[in-house]
Amino acid sequence: MTQSAHAGWPQRQRGLTIWGWMYVLGTLGMILLVLIKAVPIYMNYYDIKSTLAWASSQPELAKASGAEIQSRIQRRFDSGYVTNIKGRDVKVRRVKNGRELSVDYDVKEPLFYNISLFFDFNVVSRIQAPDDE
């Protein structure tokens, strides 16, 4: 008799409710939105970092003027589609036996309404002067 009394009932509820699905899809949507906004910013950062690394591998730039170094860096930024900074934002400083290049910049990317993503970057590179013998 007990089996026939419970025959019409489901044994156990399985799966997600509509609210569960909305939570999962909302969470995945937020993660996707943050990735869509953050990936181009980090790609720009790696382009800037690689440009300064390129400059540090150019020993002839150790004796160039600051404006010349910034101009050469700007050309690399233009060909790499760097949009967050300009060549003039790169600080060129004389150091013992070469130059030090540094750039410190922030990126504020609106997410939605009054919520934004904030990124803080600092890249430093050194141009070593060639040894004159």
The predicted pLDDT at position 88 comes to: 93
Element at 49 (helix H, strand E)? helix 18-56
Res 1 pLDDT > 60: no
The predicted pLDDT at position 59 comes to: 84
Largest CA distance in the chain: 104
Res 119 pLDDT > 80: yes
The predicted pLDDT at position 15 comes to: 76
Res 133 pLDDT > 50: no
The predicted pLDDT at position 62 comes to: 83
pLDDT digits (tens, 9 = 90+) for 3-25: 555 566 666 767 778 888 999 99
Cα separation, 73 vs 102, in Å, equals: 12
Cα separation, 19 vs 60, in Å, equals: 63
pLDDT digits (tens, 9 = 90+) for 20-56: 899 999 999 999 999 999 999 999 999 999 999 999 9
Q: Dihedrals φ, ψ of 17, to 5°?
A: -80, 175
pLDDT digits (tens, 9 = 90+) for 64-106: 888 999 999 999 999 988 988 999 999 999 988 889 999 999 9
